[in-house]
Homo-oligomer: A and B are copies of this chain.
Amino acid sequence: MKRAAPQIRDVAAAAGVSHQTVSRVLNDSPNVRPDTRQQVLDAMERLQYRPNRAARALGLGRAKAVTVVTANTTLYGYAGVLQGVEEAGRLLGLTVGIRVVASDAAADVRNAVEYVGDPSCGNVVVVAFDPAGSGVLRAMPDGLPMVAATEAGGLPGVDRRMIFLDERQAAADATRHLLGLGHRTVHHVAIPSEVRDSARQGGWRAALESAGAAVPEVVPAGWDLRSAHRAGQALAADRAVTAILCGNDDTALAVRRALHEAGRDVPGDVSIVGFDDVPGAAFWTPALTTVRMDFAGLGRACVAALADDGDPVRLDPPSLVIRESTAPPRSR
């Protein structure tokens, strides 16, 4: 009985050339005559040849792969980046892997870094949206081919290639939109951030200041809906609050509920804006005004940067999508 999978030497024999020539065809080296190349290609087709990726990785010293290191795979932004990386990697014929960092505890970070140190992981994309991710980013050894997807502006003090979406402008736009509607000021419920002054917060503050509006204290929330709900309750209790810029759409969901529980209508009594534009946002009741973020594009851009094919992917800038959750304040 023959070997299950044909290998490069079988193809060589079938094509009447050396295995090295087959290798050249595989890695499309220029030094192969067209007709020779065709013979090899035919032989591959005939034998149903598929190169062994493990062997290739071993020989090359690194796999033709991309693995994403992330603290989460289901939250909208994270899942979007993952989707973009997978898509771009697949189109380039790369193996795509995934590794989650359970937390920012030293042991978890170390394990993740060791994991991607293995050559079979290929290039790595670190999603550094949180302490766990940025911990990995900082601990990453030099010389390892990688790029990080970070918050707007990148991580200060970290000397790594970083790519990001910049929603500062859109945050300002959203704030101005609310102000333009007649709200005296806009409150902000912030999601966790790795930087002092996030783009969302920065754009919001700048818009408020340049309009001469008061800058309320930021209300912090976590990634979980529960904490966002508490933040919403705090704001709902204050009848002076008529407009809230929420850190993301999930936050907006919980804030809206808290408002409802306090008997305050959206957008009748309070206007709310989110960030992300999750697929369901347009189908909310009322439909959510939010800032569209192209996380999949960010993921694709990371892979493109790693492939350094010269052409850097243009990222769609985050943009405000006005729907029904924002309206003029109720006149009294």
| Chain A residues with a Cβ under 8 A of chain B | 50, 52-55, 57-58, 63, 73-74, 79-80, 82-83, 86-87, 90, 95-100, 114, 117-121, 225, 229, 250, 253-254, 256-257, 260, 279-280, 282-285, 287
Contacts and interface: CB of A to CB of B under 8 A. Distances in A.
A17 to B, nearest CB: 24
B96 A90 contact: no
A114 B50 CA distance: 8
Copies in the complex: 2
B90 A100 contact: yes
A256 B279 contact: no
A264 B279 CA distance: 23
A207 B280 CA distance: 30
Nearest to A257: B283
A256 B280 contact: no
A52 B54 CA distance: 11
Contact of A90 (B99, B260, B284): B99
9 contacts: A79-B79, A98-B98, A120-B120, A225-B280, A229-B283, A250-B279, A253-B284, A254-B283, A257-B283
Contacts of A99: 86, 90, 96
Contacts of A118: 50, 52-54
Contacts of A95: 97, 120-121
Contact of A284 (B73, B257, B279): B257
Contacts of A279: 225, 250
A296 to B, nearest CB: 9
Contact of A283 (B54, B63, B253): B253
A180 B131 CA distance: 48
A96 B114 CA distance: 15
A253 B280 contact: yes
Contacts of A50: 114, 117-118
Contacts of A55: 54, 58
Contact of A54 (B57, B87, B100, B225): B57
A225 B282 contact: yes
B57 A120 contact: yes
Contacts of A256: 285
Contacts of A96: 97-99
Contacts of A287: 257
Given A57-B120, A225-B283, 15 more contacts: A50-B117, A53-B118, A54-B54, A54-B63, A54-B119, A58-B58, A73-B79, A87-B100, A90-B99, A90-B100, A96-B97, A225-B280, A253-B280, A256-B285, A285-B285
Nearest to A228: B283
A95 B118 CA distance: 10
Contacts of A282: 225
A74 to B, nearest CB: 5
Contacts of A83: 73-74
B86 A98 contact: yes
Contacts of A87: 100
A283 to B, nearest CB: 5
A73 B63 contact: no
Name which of A82, A95, A114, A287 has the most chain B CB atoms within 10 A of its CB.
A95
